[in-house]
Amino acid sequence: MDIRFVSAGGGDVVAIMASEGGELLDAGKALDTASGGRIARAMKAARFTGAAGQVADILAPDGVDYGRVLVIGVGKADAADAMAVERWAGHAVKRTLTSGVEKLVLQPDSLPAVSKAEAGAHAAMGARLASYRFDTYRTKLKPDQKPALQVVEILMDGTAAAKARAEKDEAVVEGVFFARDLVSEPPNILYPESFAERLRDLETIGVEVEILEPAAMERLGMGALLGVAQGSARGGRLVTMRWNGASSKKSKPIALVGKGVTFDTGGISLKPGAGMDEMKGDMGGAAAVAGAMKAIALRKAKANVVGIVALVENMPGPYAQRPGDIVTTMSGQTIEVLNTDAEGRLILADAVWYAQDKFDPSAVIDLATLTGAVIVALGNEHAGLFSNDEDLAHAITAAAQAEGEPVWRLPLSPAYDKLIDTPNADMKNIAGKPVAGSIVGAQFVKRFIKDGMPWAHLDIAGTAWKSGPYEDPISPSWATGYGVRLLNRLIASRYED
């Protein structure tokens, strides 16, 4: 689907904005006038209120050069932000993607909190994000189930600024789509080795990719990661992606670390069968890191960034680790594995240590679909944020808010840390009692963060994919690609020259 910025309209379908109270904004008012008030009349007849996402679909009103006018609500004008514009555009694409039309015209208006250029750029972003599909394995789609929409025209005056921004954003959309594809792929296709090969493709856009196989990880002493991997016939991989875009190649990189469990059965501590298929998405953290690397490389970010993903399949079987096993991590610390289903923290233990040991980064941010408990706490709306650094936590919160990938900070403290003490080893991988599960997971990862290292952990178990009926026009697939936009903006705002 192509995006074009144009200054004159006409075509099959146009989408215009209305705010709560059923008020058309400027572009819509002009169309309404041209139609002799027919658009406003149709809105009234449809009890259109302008609530965010509400659509009045008006066919061929007289006096207007379009076959169909979509009036789409943005909610209260004062409260409408850039994300409201994206969702507005998303609704328009959702309505037209498979409806048979080849061209959609979007007429974004400026809003009290969104300039005209921003509105244009975010309309483009929303339209692109909404066009995502994962049809790889659908061989029998009927013609009317396939997207026919070829072009989205953004009709506005002064297109240059919006166009420039939208061109940069295209890199971010590519990153989000990469993450969505990875999370969507079935676990027989995407396993550690094949995942690593897909990351290898990033070399074509200038990312340095290094893949460690089990033997190399063994030499490094990654006993926790290998302990999880050993139950699977498919060996684990640790992949490092480097983007050195800063003017000084020697300045410290920021390290992004992702949990990449390509399928989480729970291992010997087997999960219940119902809904287990969703555990193909347990590599959402790794996908977010990979997507962010793709985005920053495509837009040639002036920053040094290293992305590290730990890829394993958590399986039961004759070689699987047992509850009670004690493993030695690369850091030298030992872990008593009391539940093989708390595997994400085990692979992160070695991955975050490797990140610090090898790259001496200025900060470490890990992303992981780590705990079901974060879904209990925050649902699908916010990721859980944990950090030992106020500035980093605030920067992440701001980036997350601006990109529509919100986070909510949860606490860390020595009292929680104590819960993973055990007499048998340096720590155990679950708490003695089932409390504060997400915090305990974060405390565990923190034990592998060196003193003085700024660190943040994002528990994205509730946001990497959407189980249930929850819908978002700019995230039309099960996989959301959560984290790519957040990381990209964080790097743009805090780590670029």
Tell me how far CA of residue 335 lies from CA of 38, 239, 324, 429, 433, in angstroms: 70, 23, 10, 7, 17
The active-site residue, picked from 87, 180, 345, 485, is 345
The reply on whether position 153 binds Mn ion by CB under 5 A is no
Nearer to Mn ion, 81 or 343 (CB): 343
Nearer to ligand BES, 298 or 335 (CB): 335
Name which position in 86, 343, 350, 403 contacts ligand BES (CB under 6 A).
343
Phi, psi at residue 152, to the nearest 5°?
-115, 120
The reply on whether position 344 binds Zn ion by CB under 5 A is yes
Name which position in 174, 341, 350, 403 contacts ligand BES (CB under 6 A).
341
The reply on whether position 344 binds ligand BES by CB under 6 A is yes
The reply on whether position 264 binds Mn ion by CB under 5 A is yes
437 contact choice in Zn ion, ligand BES, Mn ion, none (CB below 5 to 8 Å, kind-dependent): ligand BES
Nearer to Zn ion, 50 or 260 (CB): 260
Q: How far apart are CB 194 and ligand BES at their closest, in Å?
A: 20
- Tell me how far apart the alpha carbons of residues 466 and 242 are, in angstroms, rounded to a whole number: 30
C-alpha neighbours within 13 Å on the C-beta side of residue 73: 18
Tell me how far CA of residue 14 lies from CA of 5, 56, 59, 92, 466, in angstroms: 14, 12, 11, 9, 30
The active-site residue, picked from 76, 133, 234, 271, is 271
C-alpha neighbours within 13 Å on the C-beta side of residue 88: 37
List CB contacts of 410: < 8 A, sequence separation 6 or more.
377, 384, 385, 386, 438, 439, 442
The reply on whether position 20 binds Mn ion by CB under 5 A is no
Nearer to ligand BES, 209 or 276 (CB): 276
Measured between alpha carbons, how far apart are the two ends of the chain, in Å?
A: 33
345 is catalytic: yes
Nearer to ligand BES, 227 or 245 (CB): 227
The reply on whether position 369 binds ligand BES by CB under 6 A is yes
The reply on whether position 118 binds Mn ion by CB under 5 A is no
The reply on whether position 459 binds Zn ion by CB under 5 A is no
Mark residues 269-308: x for contact with ligand BES by CB under 6 A, - for none. Answer: -------------x--------------------------
Q: Which stretch in 6-14, 257-265, 435-443, 488-496 sits in contact with Zn ion by CB under 5 A?
A: 257-265
- Tell me how far apart the alpha carbons of residues 356 and 347 are, in angstroms, rounded to a whole number: 15
Name which position in 32, 169, 185, 264 contacts Zn ion (CB under 5 A).
264
CB atoms within 10 A of CB 6: 14
- Tell me how far apart the alpha carbons of residues 455 and 446 are, in angstroms, rounded to a whole number: 8
List CB contacts of 79: < 8 A, sequence separation 6 or more.
none
Share in percent of the chain as helix, strand, coil (round to 5)? 40, 20, 40
* Helices and strands of the chain, counted as H and E runs: 15, 18
Q: How far apart are CB 411 and ligand BES at their closest, in Å?
A: 18
- Tell me how far apart the alpha carbons of residues 101 and 393 are, in angstroms, rounded to a whole number: 45
- Tell me how far apart the alpha carbons of residues 12 and 322 are, in angstroms, rounded to a whole number: 62
Residues in touch with ligand BES (CB under 6 A)? 264, 282, 339, 341-344, 369-373, 430, 437, 461
Residues in touch with Zn ion (CB under 5 A)? 261, 264, 282, 344
Active site residues: 271, 345
Residues in touch with Mn ion (CB under 5 A)? 264, 341, 343
